[in-house]
Amino acid sequence: MRFILAFILFVLPSPLLIAQHRVKLPYNKEVHEKVTYRSKTDNVLHGTYEFKYRNKTQLRGRYVNGRKTGTWRAFRKSRDPFLAADYENDMLHGPVRFFSVSGDVAAEGTFYKNIPRGTWYSYFDDGTKRRQIHFDDAGYPVQIIDYFWSGEIATNLELSIVNNDTIREFTEYYKNTKIAGYTKTVNGKRQGRQITYHPSGAVSEEHYYRNDSLVRAGEVRTAVGKPLEASDIVEGTGSLTQHYEYGGLYARMRYKNGVLHDSIKKYQSGKVRLSGKYENGIPVGRREIYNKNFNLKYAYDFKGDTTFYQIKIFSSLENKEEGTVVNGRKNGTVHTYDGLGKLSRTMDYENGLKHGAYVENTPGTEVPRVIGSFRYGVRNGKWHYFNSFGQVTYRELYDNNPELVTDLYKVPSGFTAYVPRGFDRRVNETFLDDIPVHNDIAYYIPDQHTFGAKLNDFEFFSQEAPFDIELRERGDRITPTFKSPRFQGRETDYILRHMFPASIEMPTSGAVLLRYDVDIFGVVSNVEVVRSIHPELDDAAVRLLEGYPILIPARFNGIPVPVKVLKSISY
């Protein structure tokens, strides 16, 4: 029996306990629950509850007639509590507090029958406010304010629903308290005046939108207030010129009926860094992106939803890659060439994953060094390794059958996906060879906590090169912070002790991909297999995560949040 706490399912008090029956329920040699039933003859929880890891209490609370009641606490391995929440009648009802390592209140708020109410706060280490969220009586966040460490407002997001339209007004500030920018959206579409400012307070750019289409552009000035070349856009059609802070040319582009149409160019130090073309808002033809030294690095040919690309990688012998991207994900055969222009690797992809033949050549030659195949990103079938004379020196047979059980790219409704920095590139390679084992690949954060946040794109299986680049500095503004759920101790050691099934016919290898929930108490639940490797390995990976100790929960700008996690367990 696994104790499951979801963000919106919680508990309450009750009278005296009668004849009770206390039971220990082990998950493995290190993790177990101590539960109290009302009697030996029924399975109604009634009395104290404890979750223990290595005989240290990680979670403690009380049931009355099967419902959580009173104050529940989760503990660090130091035995100090990190979270306390009140329950009533199996629902979160009352104050919730998250404590720092030093024991100070790091975040706090109030629930009313599972619904957040009133104003929630998180704090910096010195006790100054970090974030505050004001919820209405229905649990809808109507205002979110983030602060700089100095105590000055960094962002102010106001949310409202008028005539069934969701209106979002977002204002950013510099540390000197001057406005950095203002945007307004109605049902997710830009509407009305959108304006950005220099740190000096001078207007940087002023644009007017109607249903996400650019209608006209207003004044443009340098940081010292000098007027710059104005746009000639009238009712959504014309040219738009953008500039750097002190007036240097940044971009020239054309619009038609409010969307990009015809040529676009971006500049740095007076030289082109990006050139391309749009047709009614859709990229078409050749797009080229140049590196800091103004050498061509990325080249794309857009044809409908299919993009043919080339990447030049000057930091290694494999200095060019070319292939096809369909709907943002690699598909078909990808070729990689070394510094001498010789083919060094060919690899088949399907929907962003390695899937099909793989050939790797000896450096400087086109003589095969490795021949094998992948299935949904995992090595599969026969693999052969050759010496420089073309002789087989080693063979491997992978007797697995990887399958995608659910949609790998699915972002749960009501959540925003976040990918750890740097993972978007590494994950494009095989889990077996290039990704450190047992990694959290992506996190899914409830939208009510991420309104206004700019998080990493979720396309971690997409081709690595960007279709566009942003060259202008944003200035002195706040960056949203997300801390992922954290294992208390050495997670890899724990995994290695409990990940293997009792027996399995080898060789079978690869990474089982799993998705699961972690609530604000750090409890893991709802484990599901996303990519299967082998039935016994799949079951072992699920049992491993279902028996996880209590984690330190995820936090967004300091406030504990429930998250979903996409994780690899590598065999």
Q: Are 194 and 186 in contact (CB under 8 A)?
A: no
Spatial distance between the Cα atoms of 384 and 386, rounded to a whole number of angstroms: 7
Q: Is residue 410 part of a domain?
A: no
Are residue 3 and residue 64 in the same domain, yes or no? yes
The token pair that represents 72 in the structure block: 């529940």
- Joined together, the tokens standing for residue 442 give 């992506």
pLDDT of residue 4 exceeding 50, the answer is no
Specify the DSSP element, H or E, that contains 545.
Answer: helix 535-546
d(CA 59, CA 70): 13
* 444 and 551 fall within a common domain: yes
Q: Tell me the mean pLDDT in the region 21-29.
A: 93
424 within a domain of the structure (yes/no): yes
- Contact predicate 26/498, CB 8 Å: no
Tell me, yes or no, whether 510 and 391 share the same domain.
no
* Domain shared by 561 and 437, yes or no: yes
Q: Is residue 360 part of a domain?
A: yes
Alpha carbons 293 and 279: distance in angstroms, whole number: 29
Residues 566 and 426 in one domain: yes
190 falls within a domain: no
Q: Are residues 332 and 453 in the same domain?
A: no
Please check whether residues 422 and 538 belong to one and the same domain: yes
Residues 381 and 493 in one domain: no
What's the domain count of the chain? 3
| 475 within some domain | yes
Domain endpoint, select from 398, 423, 439: 398
Q: Say whether both 510 and 559 belong to one domain.
A: yes
Same-domain status, 373 and 468: no
- Do 419 and 378 fall into the same domain? no
Q: Which tens digits make up the pLDDT trace of 185-234?
A: 999 899 999 999 998 888 999 999 999 999 999 889 998 888 888 789 99
Report yes or no on 112 lying in a domain: no
CATH code of the domain containing 344: 2.20.110
Q: How confident is the model at residue 420 (pLDDT cuts 50, 70, 90)?
A: confident
Residue 144 lies in a domain: no
Q: pLDDT tens digit string along 276-328?
A: 999 999 999 999 999 888 988 889 999 887 888 888 876 565 678 898 888 77
| Domain finish residue from 44, 67, 99 | 99
**Structural domain contains residue 48:** yes
Within this chain, do residues 436 and 562 fall inside the same structural domain, yes or no? yes
Last residue of a domain, which of 338, 373, 398?
398
Domain residues for the domain of 380 are: 313-398
Q: Tens of pLDDT along 472-507?
A: 887 777 888 899 999 999 999 999 999 988 776 655
